[in-house]
Structure 1
Amino acid sequence: MKLSQLGLIMLLMMVVVISGCSSKDNSSVKLAYVAWDSEIASTNVVKEVLESKLGVTVEMLQVDAGPMWAGIADGSADAMVAAWLPGTHASYLEKYGNDVVDAGVNLDGTKTGLAVPAYMDINSIEDLNNPEVAASLDNMIIGIEPGAGIMTSTETAVEAYGLSDYTLLESSSAAMAQELQKAFDNNEPIVVTGWTPHWMFANMDLKYLDDPKNVYGGAEQIHTMVRKGLKDDMPDVYLFLSQFKWTADDMAQVMVKIQGGQSPEEAAKDWVDNNEAKVNEWITGVNL
């Protein structure tokens, strides 16, 4: 084989390799998330847009809150849309803030606290100290996964309000919601770690207990966090993630469909298909 022919073949091979590396179809994004109903909804919607609009392959990594932040900080995950700030995830921001990039707020007006059915005749966390109320609740606060920001806040609330006779039960967001639904259906007393947006507030008449000591803080926001270097490595992905913004009502629509029996993937696809104008805003400027 002549040298000129060999050189041509090698050049063609390099073009193929470079083309393959630059193809969006060969791009892959790892999204970390916690199995909270709100984050299942948002992460699946982001996944649907990345795959259907940007042609990016998405790997979803379900972890607890701490590993979610750690994964973005060490680069083992590319992004997450589940940073509850300034209060709920304050400890994680303090620990990992210098090693992650805040791509902006994706949802305004979230809230966390202790929630009860509206039929219960109590209105403040302080009311949990009433012996009759405590007995009716079996001195139990139904929580979610250990390590979640709301669990840390609730541990602080137990101490701040003198609720040492109570047990904060560690479970999962799904198990908590199941126990709440069962108690609500039977008109029984229950207190849970609650947050909005969440489908349980759409499906049940609930209320937050007043928090006069402001342990849980006021309204919060959900931020999108990405690994350092993502903006340079995948500028279109970063642009979309930085422009991803929706409302609590948007999120609730997806959560209610999932709770009603649709798979997260189906619910996300339906929402994306039915909200073309908003999705187009998210991908404005992206090189499609």
Structure 2
Amino acid sequence: MLMRKLLAASAMSLVMGVAATAALAADGEACKKVRVAEAGGWTDNTATNGFFTTVLKGLGYETSVDLLALPVILESLKNKDLDVFLDNWMPSQTAEMKPYIEEKTVDSIGANLEGAGYGPVVPQYAADAGVKDLKDLGKFTEKFDGKFYGIEPGNDGNRIVQAKIDDPANGLDGWEMVESSEQGMLVQAEKAISKNEFVAFLAWTPHPIMGKMPLHYLSGFEADGFGGATVYTLSRSGYSAECPNVGALLKNLKFSLDQESALMEAIIGGKDGEAAAAEWLKANPAVLDAWLAGVTTLDGNDGLAAVKASLGL
């Protein structure tokens, strides 16, 4: 009789142990592949995606990253063709986001970066010469060659500036929005600044190159979403409920200006986003404690230990 009781107790303990392990494995096979969006040519997004996908792979997930324009990203989240986007800059993207938030087809999970900045700039020497506001640009059209340099087509910043060019009240008749990419815009800006020429373009913080340029942010855009910025994490609707373990990671994922600037500098210097992220995390592993609080591997094991092991820590 005693032996039967001991065997029954052992069997019960085994069942409970298996059940506990299963409970920890919050995400099923359907969640194994995480489809991540990257806004065309935004180095800060390459940096944050590098952090995110490096950690996910350490947890046993697979990832794919699609390079797309912002409008396509939002439509793809709505249509459930993508899972996650880490680079929703607000308030400048308010107009783009509004229909998706109202329709509840995209979830805003929370802020992942505070204290950012975004807006049109000129070199400080141009500001010293009298170009300090939106309406000053038209007074110096010839010096600027009537061009404002933006980034990729579909970007919110381009949209805002183009609306100002189209408004006759701003005196920018004949001005052209030159859409390119972050890299193309920077090449033009650096070339002009090296020659002490006038140039107007979009700038933001964090950014290792722009942060070293002598820039002046133009006034006259305060009501349009430029200025101080907060960056949010987006997912397709219901994603965190379907894949709660990845959802917990997304909620935990917070970055700093210094973290992103350091990674962006490495990426601009030629490193792959994941390689740069892995190198940074090896040197700064303490950040993983907060990111992985309550997060397991795909199969329910200790998430923090697994990611550290994947990094060789």
The verdict on a shared fold, with TM-score over 0.5 as the criterion, is yes
Sort the TM-score into its range (normalised by shorter chain): 0.7 to 0.9
Does structure 1 retain, via aligned residues, the 8 Å contact 2:205–2:211? Answer: no
Corresponding residue for residue 150 of structure 1 = 157
Listed as ranges, the gaps of 5+ residues in structure 2 are 1-21, 297-302, 304-313
Deviation at 1:69, TM superposition (A): 1.0
Match of 1:8 in 2: none
SS in 1 for 2:86: strand
1:256 counterpart (262, 265, 268):
265
Aligned length: 266
Quick check: 1:163 aligned with 2:172?
yes
2: CA distance, partners of 1:216 / 1:167: 21
- Residue 105 of structure 1 is aligned with which of 85, 108, 111? 111
Q: CA deviation at 1:235?
A: 1.1
Calculate percent identity across the aligned residue pairs. Answer: 26
How far apart in 2 are the matches of 1:117 and 1:263?
Answer: 30
Q: Which has the higher contact order (CA 8 A, sep 6+)?
A: 2
Query: CA separation in 2, counterparts of 1:134 and 1:61?
Result: 38
Whether 2:74 is the aligned partner of 1:69: answer yes
Q: Which amino acid letter does the alignment assign opposite residue 92 of structure 1? A: E
Distance of 1:134 and 1:153 partners within structure 2: 19
Query: Equivalences for 1:223-242 in 2 at 5 Å?
Result: 223-242=232-251
* Alignment-derived partner of residue 5 in structure 1: none
Matches within 5 A, 1:1-288: 27-34=32-39, 35-52=41-58, 54-86=59-91, 88-97=92-101, 98-120=104-126, 121=129, 122-130=131-139, 133-158=140-165, 159=167, 161-211=170-220, 214-287=223-296, 288=303
Alpha-carbon distance between aligned partners in 2 of 1:110 and 1:161, rounded to the nearest angstrom: 27
User: What is the root-mean-square deviation of aligned Cα atoms in Å?
Assistant: 2.3
Cα–Cα, structure 1 residues 146 and 22, in superposed 2: closer, same or farther, change >3 Å? closer
Shift of residue 147, structure 1, vs aligned partner? 1.0
Matched-pair contact (CA < 8 Å) for 1:143–1:170: yes
C-alpha separation in 2, matches of 1:155 and 1:56 = 41
Distance 1:265 1:234 in 2: 23
Output the amino acid matched with 1:64: A
Secondary structure of the residue aligned to 1:145 is: coil
Residue 213 of structure 1, CA deviation: 5.7
Distance apart, 1:23 and its partner CA:
6.8
* Amino acid paired to 1:95: P
Using structure 2 for the length normalisation, give the TM-score.
0.79
TM-score, normalised on structure 1?
Answer: 0.85
- Give the secondary-structure state (helix, strand or coil) at the position aligned to 1:219: strand
Pair member with larger Rg: 2
Query: Contact 2:27 / 2:245 at 8 angstroms: preserved in 1?
Result: no
